[in-house]
Every structure is written in C-alpha cells, then in structure tokens.
Chains A and B, each alone.
Chain A
Amino acid sequence: MVLDDPKSAPATREDAPWQHDKKKEDLKHIGKPIRKVDARSKVAGLTRFADDLRLPRMLHMKLLRSTMAHAEIVSIDTSKAAALPGVKGILTGKDMPTPFGILPVSQDEHALCPDKVRFVGDPVVAIAATEEETAWDACRLVDVQYRELQTVGSVHEAAGTNDPRLHDYGVRGNIHRLENLEFGDLADGFNRAEHIREDTFWFEGNTHLPMEQHATLAHFDRDGKLTVWSSTQTPHYLHRALARVLAPLPAHKIRVIAVQNGGGFGGKSDPFNHEICAAKMSMLTGRPVKIALTREEVFWCHRGRHPVLMRSKIGVTKTGRITALDFHSFLDGGAYGSYGTASTFYTGALQTVTYAVENYHFRGARFFTNKAPCGPKRGHGTPQPRFALEVQLDKIACDLGLDPAQMRLDNLAPRDSLTANFLRIGSMGLGACIEKVVEGSGWKERRGKREVTKDGRIRGLGLACSSYLSGAGLPIYWNGLPHSGVQLQLDRSGLVTAFCGSTDIGQGSDSILGWIIGEVLGIDPLGIKVVTADTDLTPVDLGSYSSRVTVMTGNAAMQAAERARDLLAKGVAKKLEVPASRLVFADERVFDAEDPQKGMSFQDAVICTEAQFGTIGTVGSYTPPKSAAKFRGGGVGPSPSYSYSAAVVEVEVDPETGIYRVPKVWMAHDIGRALNAAVAMGQIEGSIYMGLGEAMMEEMAYRDRSHKGKRVFVHKIPSLLEYKSPSACEMPECVTYVIEDPDKNGPFGAKEVGQGPLLPMMPAVANAIFDAVGVRVDENPVSFEKVFAALQAQKAGKEARFGPANDDTGVPVVDFGEPLQIKTPWQGGDGTAHNDPHRTKKAAK
C-alpha cells in the first residue's frame, strides 16, 4: 500500500498563477466583510426579479399540465379555448417537435408533450392571453383525451417493469443508466479487512424550494431578434436549448438574460418547458409573453434531490482504515433524464476524497419513474451516499470501540494525492475541521453521556464530515473551450466594467468579480460596474452550478485584471519614467514603490494609457486542469479543488415519542480562503439550515392513488405549508469555523463555499440520535416517526433500527454487467480501464 507515496501525486504542477500564497495582511479587499455589489438594491426592494419585469402589449401565458401520470395523448381539442376573447396564441407539442435536455446524452424532453405524458404536471398545451385569468380560463376549455398506461412508481417497480417503457432509450426497460466501475482489487481488500459491515440506506427525495417561483419574459422583436429574461442559473445552456428547439432561428439572434434569481439551489439549472414555450409564443404572436409559475408548478418542475436506495459493504482494519468499499446506488430519476447521468456518477464519485479508500467498487443505476424529474440540488448526487458512508462509519467506530472523530482523523485522504478513482486532491483541511468541531462541542467529554434535560429529553452528539467540488472539471457538453470568460473595459472616467456570463443566484458571484478585480487593480470593489449573465453582452460562463463560480469566474477575472494592470503599468511607467515592475496599484492610485509620492490617480493612469495605446479592454478566461481520470465515466468527479466540512450536531430526544430538537450545531468548513468573510459565513449558515431541513423534515413524497383502475402519482405536498421547511424558530444556535487551507487552483487560494457544509448535517443528526437513545435511523429524513418506530423496536427487543430491509431483499435485482476495471494509482494504474471495450476497439483500429 503506497497511498501516501509522493509519486502518486501529479508529477508536474504548473506554477501557481492564482496567488494562493498571498499573505492575509497583504490583501486589501479579499477576506474583508465588504458589502455585496447589489446589497443596497436588495434591501431597498429595488432588485428586479423576472416576474417584476413587464413590457408594453405583454401577454400572459399559462401551461395546461397533464393530470395523468403515464398516458398516450389521443387528441387535443383547443377550439373552445381559441374562441375565448382575449386568447392570442395556443401552442401544442407539434409546434415544437425538437427534443431538448440539459445533457447531450438525454435530449428527452419536449417543450410540450407531443404524444405521451410521463408524470402529473407534464405540460401539454400553452395558451397566451391579454389577461392572466383569461389564460387560465382558456386552459380549462381545452379537451385532452388520454389513453392511460401502466405507471412506474419506485426503483423496485422500475427494475421489475420492462414494459411499458417511459422512454425508448436507456439501457433497457426503465433503466436509464447503469454504471459499474471497479478501482483496485476488491477481493483482496476484503481479504485484508479485519472487520466487514453491510448496510442498506434510503434517502428520500427533497426539493430546492427557492422562495422565488420560476418566471420568464420573452420578446421577439420586429427586427427578428428574440430576447428571453428568465430566472435561470444557466443562461448559456438555456441559450443552446432555445437555439436547438427554435431552429432555424440562429443562435446569434437569441439573447438570454438571466435575471437575479430569487434562490436557485440547482432548481433553475435545466432549460425548462415554460422558457421555451414563452419564446415560441412570442414568435407566434409578435408580442412580449410572460409566464410566472405558481408554487404548485415549481414542485412539478422539481429537478431536486434524487430518492436513492443504497447498499454499502465496507471492509476496514482495526483502526478503521478502509481497505475495500463496495457501494451500490439505485436512483429514482423521475420522468426525464435531466442531469441524471451526472447524478448517477456523483452518487459514487466523492466517497474517496475524505478518507483514504484503498479499493473501491461502485455500481449505480438510475431508473425512470412517473414522477417529476429529479436533478441537481445543492450537493448534487453526493449527499445521499455521504449520508450512507458517514452513518456506516459511525457504526464501524461503534463496532471497533473507536472514537468516531479520531477514527476519521487517523484515516484522512492525504493532501496533494490521487484517490483510488483518480481524483486529484489539492489542499485538504478536513483534519483541522474535525479538530475544531470536536474541541468546540466538547465532544470528548460530552459524547455518550446521555445527559437528561430538565424536560426529560436525552442529549446526544453526532459527528459527520463531507467534501464537495469547486466546480465540475468538464462542461456539460463536450467542447474544448474555456469554462469562464471575463472581459474588462476601462473608461476615461476611471470606471472599470466587468462583463461575465456568470449568474448571481444570491450566493454573491457578481460581487466576487468586484472583489477580485478591485484587489488586483487597487481600486474600490464597489466602484466597479458588473454586467453579468447576458448572452449578447457577456463572454460565456457555464453557469451557477456545482459550486464552480468562485474558482472559475474568479480565476478568469484575475487574469483579465492582471492583464489590465500590466497594460496600465506600461502606460504609467513610460509617463513617470520608472520601471513598470516598480509600480504599485493601491488606494485608487498607481505609484512608484520606492517613492510613493511619485504616482497618479487610477483614473489618470487609465487616461495616460489610453493616450498611448488606444481604447483599453482586456480579457481573461479559465479552463480547469486536465483530469487524471481517463476511464469512461471519469468525467464526473474531477474538480480543480475540494472543500471539506465537519459537523457536530447536538440533539435532545424524547425517549417516549421520538420527537427531538436540535439546539446547537458546530460546523467547520475548509474553503481555501474566504474571499469575503461575512458572505462566506452566510453561505455556511445557509447550508446548515438547508441540511437541517433535509435531516428533520423535508421530503418530496407522492400519493399513490388509483384512478379508473390505473395508479396515479400525485405530489403529496405541493405547497409551502405542507412541504415542511425550517422556520426562524427551528434554527439552532450555530458555531461556525472558517478553515483556510489555500489551494493552488483557486483565486487567492479560494475553494468552494456553501454546498459542502449541507452534507454532514443529515448523517450527523442520525448519529446524534444514536448517541442519545441508541437507535439507528438508516433513512433520511430522520423524521420523528422513524425515531419513534426505532424506539418501539428497541423496546420490543428487536433490532433498534428503522430503515430498508438490511439484506439482499432491500434492493432491486439488477444485472450490472461486467465492471470497467481500473488499476488504482498505487497499483501503477494510469487512469484508464484495462478492459474497456471502446478502448479495445479503438486500439484494434
């Protein structure tokens, strides 16, 4: 075992161009709690969201959605709707026959269903009218005749139903994807294990629940150009989807503007039916068209957390070192592909980046079911397996009589190393994270003490960790282009304008541009003008997903700013007759380091440079480093860097009812470097909150109803009242630690912030429940009734556990075929699979 061998680290690293080693005291703006560039307009109520926009002669559009979970469309009669005064346009599936979808491998959606509906809520007809209510009324006048088909409601059912298929693509039957990857030698790993466990876990789906419902305004103007304003996290991908469906309208005549998002969390990352319909409707009617979804429709759009069933077999040494991990995941994908291919890989990708895993076998299956499509939610595909792994490790520590915190510390994945599945770890602050929360919470003294509160509840502490990407190493569609571009324009007034395609969804990405550029040019970050997320004006940035913006947009901004600084230095050097290398940019001035009096204002620097070289503009762009994983499927998981988190959660459990509260949380997050202290804190606190909601109450559950002998899946809780999420009253006290372990690949050493700390919350809650009352809930959410059921089992002398059957009957029987076999780095592997049929074919050619 040569896991820690420096040879397994990447042989050559380019010089670190992103100033990760800059000392804190040398940074003027970075790390300071400066306001966000849009803070004023947000607190003044002046930020315009998509539904706040309107245009003269604007029509309102509504979608008629399927009432059937799975059916063929026999006929659609819109004649009565068309006759209603005020109705200006009607679209059905035949008007937009080209399919689309976020991933090139699953172009399986239509703007309106042409011949088949796949879930209750699938859109069938779009109607635009002069008044919003008229559009609703008209929808009610449409007569759609369906022929119902058998429905598929779960991974078990999907695995057992070959016919009817939801889609005519995929692996077979209703299996959308099957992945089977083996890294190293599992049999050997288990042979060397001193302890082996097998557990089955279930993670129910849940949804983003952004406070803003999606809205879109589209305007096809008289010059034949289309503008679409939308609450989207990915204007570039929406642009591509529009160009595809609206062809022959050329892409350069389509302009997508991502309006400020009122929260996204991944829920606004797909191109949506309503966006494409609004665009088409505007082209049809020649008038601006707006659609604002109702809250209920937002639940139907979904793309949230996949429900995942997991079976995990783990082999460890006496000290808890993982010698072998055999992990199966079964994803309930809902009705469409969405990001599901990536989600499937993500349920297997990041198990290896927290603790060293010597040999690893991952099998993942995604199924189509007649429910709203699942996709990426904060943590995309990784919280479910993280729940399984962290709860299982807690059980292992218990089995071996080890302290769960110490066991994790003893087995950390090494920094600057390659994992079994060829992910390249750079900076790695998980150890520091664990130490902080252990110390802060009094873990060593308080764990396992089962203190009783005044009102008779029992206290427990639970610990869990996680890691997350700083952006995906590969774009969603194959291309060799930069992932992020920034363009700077320097004006004689001294104004610096940054143009970038990145999209602010509330996380502060617009501000990141200001802070970084301000730092490099020595000017006030709030004085910089930021123009973002407009496909006509701004260079492409792939969007706000997978926590990619801080690193990727940040690096592009840094490059553009450094180029501007170099140009200005040239201009000023000539004018002042000092070498450019001696010039300092700080406090809105450019001056000689050796004689600070000798210098000029930033504005004068721009003017004198423009006088010498003409109009000033620079560009910067960023492409992530090449991945070491070259096997098929290796595209999901690589990232420029990984953030780390550790949490201790305190619970107080009523041993009679299972009702518990969470009074306090300790969370440490290694983010490389905080670009803005207050904003980073806000991201961490928001993650704690959202993770707590997932742990305690949030679930996207369905009612299984019969209708004329056929089963229909109706969303159980499509409202904010019934989809429980934590209110201000449920928010616990949080002690937050920001760990800064700068990473070479990020701007000033920054990594992602704000997805990672969501992940440990759910397993930490489950582990804390065990610490308090000795029962295991192997399901998420860890809701009160499950704790109660486990307590009942405990009282009855049965296994003190609630969860899916913990044997082979708990998971569906699926033939995964032969695994791709990949040698680990410490076996001398080169990142390719030695039995890849594609590779063999290529080699034969």
Chain B
Amino acid sequence: MTQPNKVLATFQVNGEPHEVAFLPHKTLLEVLREEMDLTGTKHGCELGECGTCTVQIDGTPVLSCLVLAVDAVGKDVQTVEGLAQGAELNPLQHCMADLGAAQCGYCTPGVLMAADALLRDNPKPTRDEIKEALAGNLCRCTGYIKIFEAVELAAARMRGEDAQPSKESIYGS
C-alpha cells in the first residue's frame, strides 16, 4: 500500500492564493478542510447527498466532496469564510442570523453558498425558485422555513428595499 506522490498546486480561494501539497485523489472538501484549515465547509456524507459541503467554483455552487482538488486548481473557489466583507456580514448572513435560520448551524455554510449563488443570478426569486435552488441542501433543524424567509428578506434588502420580516414569521399567526 504505497502512497502516490503529493502534488503541489496553488488554489485561489476567496480571492487569496493558497499553495498546498496534497495527494492527487483528495477531494476539494478534504483539501479545504485539512490542508487550508478552512473548516467552515462541512461534510455530512462525502457522497454528494447532503449539500453541507457546497462551495462555489467560478460562481456556481458545487458539492466539494465530489470535486477532485486538482480540478479546482486555477479556478475561483469561494467558501463561506469569504462571504463577509471583512468583519461585516453580508446581507444574507445578517438575515439568517436575525431569523434564527441557523439552528445547529451545520448545514448553514452550504445553504449560504447555494443561496448566495441564487441571489447573484436572480435578485427576486420566488419561494419556489428558492426551494429549487436549495433542494440539494438538507437541513434537519429548521424545516427550511426560516431559511426561505431569510433568503427572501436578504433579496429584498439587496434590491435596496427597506424590508422587515413579517410579524407572522416571528410571532406566529
């Protein structure tokens, strides 16, 4: 059982170069977490079934557990750590925090990366479009509703509207 040689490559992650040596069969998920210490990206299956490992490559959400790290070299990789502008959370993060859309928070990075890509393509998504975009991100805590509401609220705010969460969504009907 001899190990193959490691490859040395430079990744662009969240706009920063990362030079790492890794075994060529490693997934992007493993290299992000284990070689770059970017543990914001999670794993729930490593088989492409849960969406917790979602990152963006060139703006498109992908499951990092199904991407070989070597295939991400030279591409623009975005992870949850890159969403905030410095210390300031982005509008989607703010809305998720305000509505309690992150309960245990384990699915949250994946959800954020999928929803962030959606909002870039579609500034005014319908509830069904949001569901569609998040269909691959399982969440066991929230029942998704607070996530949908956070995405809608963030979308409105990003369009410049002075939107507030509905009374029913916070206090019930």
Interface segment, one of B56-64, B69-77, B96-104? B96-104
Query: Are A682 and B100 also in contact (CB < 8 A) when A209-B140, A210-B140, A731-B145 are?
Result: yes
State the Cβ distance, A651 to closest chain B Cβ, in Å.
18
A157 is an interface residue with CB less than 8 A from chain B? no
Are the CB atoms of B100 and A721 closer together than 8 Å?
A: no
**CB 8 Å contact bits of B147-173 with A (1 = contact, 0 = none):** 110000000000000000100111111
Contacts of A294 in B (CB 8 A): 46
A49 within 8 A of partner (CB): yes
Q: Check if B39 is an interface residue, CB within 8 A of chain A.
A: yes
Contacts of A731 in B (CB 8 A): 131, 143-145
Contacts of B112 in A (CB 8 A): 43, 45
Is there a chain B Cβ closer than 8 Å to A1's Cβ?
no
Stretch at the interface among A89-97, A250-258, A505-513, A553-561: A505-513
Q: Are B96 and A43 touching (Cβ within 8 A)?
A: yes
Q: Does A261 contact B (CB under 8 A)?
A: yes
Chain B residues 3 to 44 lying within 8 A of chain A, measured CB to CB, are 33, 39-44
Given contacts A211-B106, A727-B135, A731-B131, contact A46 B100 (CB under 8 A): no
Contacts of B169 in A (CB 8 A): 678, 681
Is the interface on chain A under 10, 10 to 19, 20 to 34, or 35 or more residues?
A: 35 or more
The answer to whether the Cβ of A572 comes within 8 Å of any Cβ in the partner chain is no
Q: Across the interface, do A295 and B171 meet the contact criterion of CB distance under 8 Å?
A: no
Instruction: Fill in one digit per residue for B80-97: 1 if any A CB lies within 8 Å of its CB, else 0.
Output: 110110000100011011
B97 CB to nearest chain A CB (Å) = 4
Binds B, one of A3-11, A31-39, A366-374, A612-620: A31-39
Contact code string B108-150 (vs A, CB < 8 Å = 1, else 0): 1100100000000000000000111011111111111111100
Separation of A435 and B82 alpha carbons in the complex (Å): 48
B residues within 8 A CB of A36?
97, 100
CA of A729 to CA of B147, assembled, Å: 13
**Residue from B47, B50, B137, B144 in contact with A689 in the complex, judged by beta carbons closer than 8 Å:** B144
Let me know if A40 is at the binding interface, CB within 8 A: yes
Please state if A44 and B84 are interface contacts (CB–CB under 8 Å). Answer: yes
Give bound CA distance, A736 to B173, whole Å: 6
Q: Number of B residues whose C-beta is below 8 Å from A?
A: 62
Please give the distance in Å from B73's CB to the nearest CB on chain A: 22
* Given A45-B40, A728-B134, A738-B172, CB of A682 within 8 Å of CB of B103: yes
> Which residue from chain B places its CB closest to the CB of A213 in the assembled complex?
B44
CB of A682 within 8 A of CB of B140, answer no
- Asked if B109 and A45 sit within 8 Å, CB to CB, the answer is yes
B113 → A minimal CB distance (Å):
9
Contact A211 B143 (CB under 8 A): no
The binding surface of chain B is classed by DSSP as: loop
B95 to A, closest residue via Cβ? A43
A48-B44 Cα distance, complex, nearest whole Å: 15
Q: Are B97 and A210 interface neighbours, CB within 8 A?
A: no
Contacts A48-B39, A211-B42, A685-B143 hold; do A728 and B135 have CB atoms under 8 A apart? yes
A137 interfacial contact with B, CB 8 Å:
yes
B68 to chain A, nearest CB (A): 16
The answer to the question of A42 belonging to the interface, with a C-beta cut-off of 8 Å to chain B, is yes
Which residues of A have CB within 8 Å of B33? 52
**Min distance, Cβ B10 to any Cβ of chain A, angstroms:** 22
CB <8 Å contact, B143 and A46: no
From known contacts A44-B89, A295-B44, A736-B172, infer whether A506 and B144 are also in contact, taking CB-CB under 8 Å: no
Among A42, A47, A505: residue with most chain B CB under 10 A: A42
Which of these, B47, B79, B100, contacts A508 with CB under 8 Å? B100
Contacts of A682 in B (CB 8 A): 99-101, 103, 141-143, 146
Q: Nearest Cβ in chain B — how far from A647, in angstroms?
A: 13
**CB under 8 Å from chain B, chain A span 177-224:** 208-213
- CB contact under 8 A between A35 and B170, given known A210-B104, A260-B105, A685-B146: no
Partner of B98, one of A33, A721, A734: A33
Taking the complex as formed, is A263 at the interface, i.e. its CB lies under 8 A from any CB of chain B? Answer: yes
Query: What 12 new A-B contacts, CB under 8 Å, besides A51-B43, A263-B103, A505-B104?
Result: A43-B93, A45-B79, A46-B81, A134-B1, A263-B141, A508-B103, A677-B171, A685-B142, A686-B141, A686-B143, A720-B49, A728-B130
- Measured CB to CB, the residues of B under 8 A from A are 1, 33, 39-47, 49-50, 52, 79-81, 83-84, 89, 93-94, 96-109, 112, 130-132, 134-148, 165, 168-173
A residues sitting closer than 8 Å to B (CB atoms) are 33, 35-36, 38-49, 51-52, 84, 134, 137, 208-213, 260-265, 294-295, 440, 505-508, 676-679, 681-682, 684-690, 719-721, 725, 727-729, 731, 734-738
10 contacts between A and B (CB under 8 A): A38-B105, A40-B97, A44-B84, A46-B81, A211-B106, A211-B141, A506-B106, A677-B171, A684-B172, A720-B45
